[in-house]
Structure 1
Amino acid sequence: MQKLDIEQYYKNANALLKGHFLLSSGNHSDTYLQSAKVLEDPKVAEILAQALALQIKESGIKIDCICSPALGGILAGYELARALNVRFIFTERVDGKMTLRRGYKVKKGEKFLVCEDIITTGGSALEAAQCVKEQGGEILAYAGLANRGFCQRVGSNLTKKPECKLPDNVPLFALEDFIFNMYDSNNCPLCKEGSQAIKPGSRGN
């Protein structure tokens, strides 16, 4: 399969945003990848998921189910599950704690991949993985459409940064690395300039 220009897909969907953003990790950034806009087109979602599925198949890893943390990971995870022809479930926060609900069950020894839309530090993916492991599932891999460059993905020369929360012994698959400025919320130059961080998806964005 020809290598896809993932950045161009984001640009085409007006999903590579510039401004002052609050990330799910709590950090701030001047750039935001709004994957929901890319996945708005089912044909594009299918193309990206198939490319990601190909990486996983070529690795030899065989999984039984994909789990994604809500809300951002649901579309990417479902499309990847469809491309791999496996079951799909998702976790969601209840009173701040990531939880498996809606009758979802994990079989003991069932092999899982945890899929996000964007992997930043991997914190939400790790919380979803913990839900699976508590019910006896086994985590074989993590995946995302894009990797913010803090975690080491398969096929990239980038090294793992201290901020990455994903384990070293479990592979991460992603289509591309996106390296953007990221700031601690207590030491953000954009805040010092007087602007306020927004989280896309809120305030009508």
Structure 2
Amino acid sequence: MPLDIKKYYTDAQALLKGHFLLSSGNHSDTYLQSAKVLEDPKVAQVLATALSKQILEAGISLECVCSPALGGILAGYELARALGVCFIFTERVEGQMSLRRGFGVKANEKVLICEDIITTGGSALEAARCIEAQGGKVVAYAGLANRGFCQRVGSKLAKKPECKLPDGVPLFALEDFIFDMYDPKDCPLCALGESKAIKPGSRGN
């Protein structure tokens, strides 16, 4: 029986409703707070194991998992554990995604980029460029949840123009979460004038 991923988010009070400012700058009435799901190590293990199974069944060969800080670290670490490979992370230094803390990759090392949530894939792509700059090879992307802009393996949803991930590199995720997003100047929530968009993610609070 497949995992009910949405139930995990709901049970952890991680499927939030309100007026939110997303990392992309857009607004939404729904927000996924994966940190609340992953604060239970047993749940994190279950989700990462399910994600690793998809990757292994697809025949993806990899040597390392890399996540962009901060949101992707817990998901990436647990996925690396499930796959039995090493884990590293990138982080922003003066706005630029970088590999620090002695992390590095070898030439042609096969790396999977893991996020908690894949929206347009912008942060994941920045992490991938760090890997490629050192001669590594990005063989796949992964996330616990996919916001539906990028096409994941096993989903019938088509890739949308907003997706920044490259063609030809597979994306794995446990579920598609489709929510409305609005340009701030066209946001119906702002038009009501009853609330201000808040940012509950790692770059907010």
TM-score category by the smaller chain? over 0.9
Q: Percent identity?
A: 77
TM-score, with length taken from structure 2: 0.97
- Segments of structure 1 that go 5 or more residues without pairing to the other structure are none
Partner of 2:33: 34
Partner of 1:105: 104
Change (3 A) 1:58 1:165: same
CA distance in 2, matches of 1:196, 1:105: 41
Q: Which digits, 9 at most, give the CA deviation of each residue in 1:54-99, with x for residues without a partner?
A: 0000000110001000000000000000000001000011111111
Partner of 2:179: 180
Change (3 A) 1:57 1:204: closer
Partner of 1:21: 20
CA distance in 1, matches of 2:79, 2:86: 10
Partner of 1:145: 144
How far residue 186 of structure 1 moved from its aligned partner, in angstroms, is 2.5
- Segments of structure 2 that go 5 or more residues without pairing to the other structure are none
CA distance in 1, matches of 2:30, 2:167: 27
Change (3 A) 1:71 1:202: closer
Q: Which moved more, 1:125-134 or 1:183-192?
A: 183-192
Partner of 1:197: 197
- RMSD value over aligned CA atoms? 1.4
CA distance in 2, matches of 1:18, 1:138: 38
Change (3 A) 1:99 1:204: closer
How far residue 25 of structure 1 moved from its aligned partner, in angstroms, is 1.4
CA distance in 2, matches of 1:89, 1:15: 26
Partner of 1:87: 86
CA distance in 1, matches of 2:169, 2:201: 31
SS of corresponding position for 1:30:
strand
How is 1:107-186 mapped onto 2 (pairs within 5 angstroms)? 107-186=106-185
CA distance in 2, matches of 1:204, 1:90: 20
How far residue 202 of structure 1 moved from its aligned partner, in angstroms, is 7.0
SS of corresponding position for 2:7:
helix
CA distance in 2, matches of 1:145, 1:204: 21
How far residue 190 of structure 1 moved from its aligned partner, in angstroms, is 1.3
AA matched with 2:173 = A
Q: Which digits, 9 at most, give the CA deviation of each residue in 1:162-200, with x for residues without a partner?
A: 110001110000000000011112321112222211111
How far residue 125 of structure 1 moved from its aligned partner, in angstroms, is 0.2
Paired residue total: 204
CA distance in 2, matches of 1:91, 1:203: 15
SS of corresponding position for 1:161:
coil
How is 1:71-86 mapped onto 2 (pairs within 5 angstroms)? 71-86=70-85
CA distance in 2, matches of 1:190, 1:96: 29
CA distance in 2, matches of 1:178, 1:147: 6
